[in-house]
Structure 1
């Protein structure tokens, strides 16, 4: 029997929350609970972790939805889908910093919500297939690296990698043609790559220095991607650039 995706609903309108819970249960999801306050959602996520969180972005009380997600993310990596009636650009940008899976607008249609949760479930399955041990799924051989992606070992030439970006317990490996999500931290990934070519420029970024197009005071650019450059890493970057 296939395991059901477990969903926590965080919504302070109990009519909306109850309707979502009823519809999700009918379509095969397991609702771990309904919370109306951010503080309670944080505790719930800690004691009974769901697979995905539906989060009202405009929660009333001491913690709004975004602040609640930030607190949850300190302890767990749980996909978040924001529910929102707020189209304010500043709120959207603040929410985007928490790396949500998606935004679902109010009034909610079950078609949109079901499609979004189906995509989240698919992503969760893909991460399980990648496996818990990155050592078994990443191998370096001379001028190339092999990574497991969608059940296959994919060969990438080191010279084709532009940069890597941290995403909590995962990292994104970016080439000029494709982006791969790896089940390893940026720190662990950096150890596997040749330090003569791949250099940390920010806590969230490792770059291929042979691909740098622009070196600014507080940023670098690769293929039109602006990447922050921290002062603490700048001297190390300059030292490596002098050797190539």
Structure 2
């Protein structure tokens, strides 16, 4: 890691916060602050820049980690990971609407922690900086990497993440929903399955049930067969 990733922790249990800080620093990350409330977090975020935040969903004050997440989504758009123990279903549903990069259940271990951070950082793209005409920017640590749209052979959706499979079998991960991303793609892209969008320029073979793109067999669901047939005609 050439530049340490700056991480903010908002956790009102001091023992858990200290343990998390210790583990993160041992993994090579920089913990810039450990805070215990919404007010402290907002004040810090107004004056400082971070790369990632860990947010306890249920703080001991009226404002929760969900409120901090809403502020992040509106103002800073940095990735964040929720910390949770036994939150009720209603709270989890409310938290999921903020599109967190991950959830970590307490207690956590260093392997899960490191994996969650890498996914969060590598997949995060500011939601207002996705597609610019002929290319897409994908966040890679402190940089936005430019990916040519025409180099994307197919896209696979996994909830709020997209796998961009490019020519020469290069894969990039992007934090976005398929629905919002496909609206900005050119006409050469066609959805053939609820989880797949293909670039028709890379189709090498097809049948009534599947299509071959970049040597990958991709299913064609009944919902999208009509659109695919229209293109072939």
TM-score normalised by the chain length of structure 2: 0.58
SS of the residue aligned with 2:119? Answer: helix
SS of the residue aligned with 1:55? Answer: strand
1:9 and 2:9 correspond? yes
CA RMSD, Structure 1 to Structure 2 (Å): 4.3
1:110 and 2:121 correspond? no
SS of the residue aligned with 2:76? Answer: coil
SS of the residue aligned with 1:8? Answer: strand
Q: Give 1:182 deviation, angstroms.
A: 5.4
Q: Is the 8 A contact 1:127 1:183 kept in 2?
A: no
Q: Give 1:73 deviation, angstroms.
A: 1.0
Note the 1:36-51 alignment, pairs <5 A.
Answer: 36-51=36-51
Query: Which ranges of structure 1 fall in alignment gaps of 5 or more residues?
Result: 140-145, 148-154, 199-206, 208-221, 226-244
Q: Give 1:122 deviation, angstroms.
A: 4.2
1:97 and 2:97 correspond? yes
Which residue of 123, 148, 155 corresponds with 1:137? 148
Q: Give 1:69 deviation, angstroms.
A: 0.5
Partner of 1:73: 73
Deviations 1:208-233 (A, max 9, x none): xxxxxxxxxxxxxx9699xxxxxxxx
Q: Give 1:29 deviation, angstroms.
A: 0.7
SS of the residue aligned with 1:68? Answer: helix
d(CA) in 2 for partners of 1:111, 1:188? 31
Note the 1:77-88 alignment, pairs <5 A.
Answer: 77-88=77-88
Deviations 1:5-44 (A, max 9, x none): 2110000112221221122112211001111111221232
Partner of 1:212: none
Partner of 1:128: 140
SS of the residue aligned with 2:67? Answer: helix
Q: Is the 8 A contact 2:80 2:100 kept in 1?
A: yes
SS of the residue aligned with 1:103? Answer: strand
Query: Which ranges of structure 2 fall in alignment gaps of 5 or more residues?
Result: 126-137, 166-170, 192-196, 198-219, 224-233
- Summarize the Cα distance change of 1:184–1:36 in structure 2 as closer, same or farther, 3 Å threshold: closer
Deviations 1:47-83 (A, max 9, x none): 2222111110001223111111111210122111111
Q: Number of residue pairs matched? A: 179
Partner of 1:20: 20
Note the 1:75-224 alignment, pairs <5 A.
Answer: 75-123=75-123, 127-128=139-140, 132=144, 137-139=148-150, 146-147=151-152, 155-156=153-154, 190=183, 193-194=186-187
SS of the residue aligned with 1:70? Answer: helix
d(CA) in 2 for partners of 1:133, 1:119? 16
Q: Is the 8 A contact 1:55 1:81 kept in 2?
A: yes
